[in-house]
Chain A
Amino acid sequence: MNVKHPFRSKSPLLNCDKTYKNYRSFKSYLIKDFNNRCGYCDAFDGWSGGPRVYHIDHFAPKSRFPHMENEYENLVYACPFCNLAKGDDWLSDSENISFVADKGYLNPVSDDYNDYFFRDAYGNIHSNTETVQAFYMHKKLKLYLERHRIMWNLTRIWKNKIKIREALEKCKGAERYNELLMHYAELSIEFDEFLEYIIGDIREPEEAI
C-alpha cells in the first residue's frame, strides 16, 4: 500500500509574548500553541497521561546555549520519548544553525514537517525520500517506534468518533438513526476498553482520570 497521509494536520504556532525567568512557567502557553501535541512526533498528550507527563524541550540545548534557556521561541512541547531521545544533541556551535551538512534538526514551528515526513497506511512515520534532512532526525528521535503508529491511530479513531457524533446529531429523525446510534455506542465501548488498557498501563486507573 503506497498511501501517504500528511504527517500532521495542524502545525504549532507560537503566540506567547510573555517573559518568564523560568522556562517551566511557559508550559500552559506551549500546550496551547502546540495543540496538545508533541512538537516532534505529533502524538496527542491525552493518550499518555496528559500535559503533566509531557516535557519542555530546548530546541537549541540549554546545556550548550544557556542564554536560550528561557526564550519562548526555543521551547518545544515534547513527549518524553522525543525529548529524551534528542537529549543534548546539537551539531553546530551556533543556536541559530540546526543543521551541519545533511544532519540536524528541523524546527517544529518554522519548518513544515509535512514536507519532510509522512505516515503510511498503518500510521508509521517515514521520512520523505525526496529530502535528506529528515533521515537523521527520524533515527535520532526514534520516530520508527511502534508507539507513534498506535498513538496516531487512536487520534484518527477519536476524530472519526467526533465526526460520527456530529453527523448523528444532524439525522436524528432518520429511519436508521437508532440502529446507527447503537453501532456508535458499541464502537465507543470498544474504543474505551482499548484506551483504558493503554492509559491504565501507564497510570493507575484512579490517577488516569
Chain B
Amino acid sequence: MSKFNIGILDDEKPNIRRIKRQGRDQSFNFVEVSLKNDVEEMAEEIISQKLNGILVDYQLKITRPEITYTGVDLVIKLDEYVENYPSFILTAFSDTAENELIDVNKIYEKEAYFNDPSLLNRRIQRQVENYRKAIDKSEEEVLRLRKKDNLTLKEEERLVELDTFIEKHLSKKDSLAKSIKSSSYNKKLDSLLEKTERLLGEIEKL
C-alpha cells in the first residue's frame, strides 16, 4: 500500500521544516498546505487535495494576522465536511485549546512533539488506519447484505445505517438523510416513477 499524505498547516516556516523532519521514515508523508484566509476555503482546499488527515497549529496568525480562525476552528469545520476526519492540533497554548469544544485527544504539545515525535506519529498512523478500517468493515457488510434476496426489517435498517455511515465518511455535508433511503421512501419514489410512466402512456394514446 502506498504511503498516505498528512497535510501540515502552520504559519511559521521553521515549524513546518521541523515537523517534516519529525515525520521522516514514517508510513505517511507530511505535505505542506498553503494557508487560506477563510476557514471554509481552507477546509475545501484540504478536501480537494485528498489528504488522508491533517496536523494543524493552533495559532495560525502569529505571522499571518489576516487569518481569523484557529486550528480548532478548522478541525471543527472539517468535521462538518467529513465524519471523523483524522486531524491533530499542535499547540504551545494547550490551556486555551483544551478549553474549546473539541476532543482533547486531538490536541498535542508542540514542544513535546519536537522532543519526541513517536507518540503522535503513531497516533496519526493509527487514526488514519482506523478510519479506513471502519469504512472497509462497513463496506464488507453492505456488500454482503446487498447480495441477499430478502432482507428482514432489521437487516434493511442495518443496510441504511451502514450506507449512511459510508456516505458521511466521504462527504458528510452532501450525504442524504437516512429516511430518504427507507423502504417507505423507496416505495414512494417507485410509485412516482410508475405514475409518470402510466400518465405518459395515456397521453400518447390520445
Task: Give the B-binding residues of A (Cβ under 8 A).
Answer: 48-49, 53, 55-56, 61, 63, 79-81, 83-85, 87-88, 122, 139, 142, 144-147, 150, 153-154, 156-157, 160-161, 163-164, 167-168, 171, 174, 176, 180, 183-184, 187, 190-191, 194, 197-198, 201-202
Contacts and interface: CB of A to CB of B under 8 A. Distances in A.
A146 B200 contact: no
Contact of A180 (B142, B160, B202): B202
A150 B47 contact: no
Contacts of A53: 174
B53 to A, nearest CB: 12
Candidate in A80, A167, A202 with the most chain B CB atoms within 10 angstroms? A80
B203 A164 contact: yes
B139 A142 contact: yes
B95 interface: no
A174 B146 CA distance: 47
B140 to A, nearest CB: 10
B200 A167 contact: yes
Interface residues of B, number: 39
A150 B176 contact: yes
A145 B177 contact: no
B196 A145 contact: no
Given A84-B47, A160-B200, A168-B203, A147 B167 contact: yes
Nearest to B197: A160
Nearest to B143: A144
Given A80-B170, A180-B199, A201-B176, A146 B193 contact: no
28 contacts: A49-B174, A53-B174, A55-B48, A81-B171, A85-B170, A88-B5, A139-B139, A139-B143, A144-B142, A144-B143, A154-B189, A156-B193, A157-B189, A157-B193, A157-B196, A161-B196, A164-B196, A164-B203, A167-B200, A174-B206, A176-B206, A184-B199, A187-B196, A197-B180, A198-B176, A202-B173, A202-B174, A202-B176
Nearest to A79: B174
A145 B142 CA distance: 9
A167 B203 contact: yes
Contact of B189 (A153, A161, A187): A153
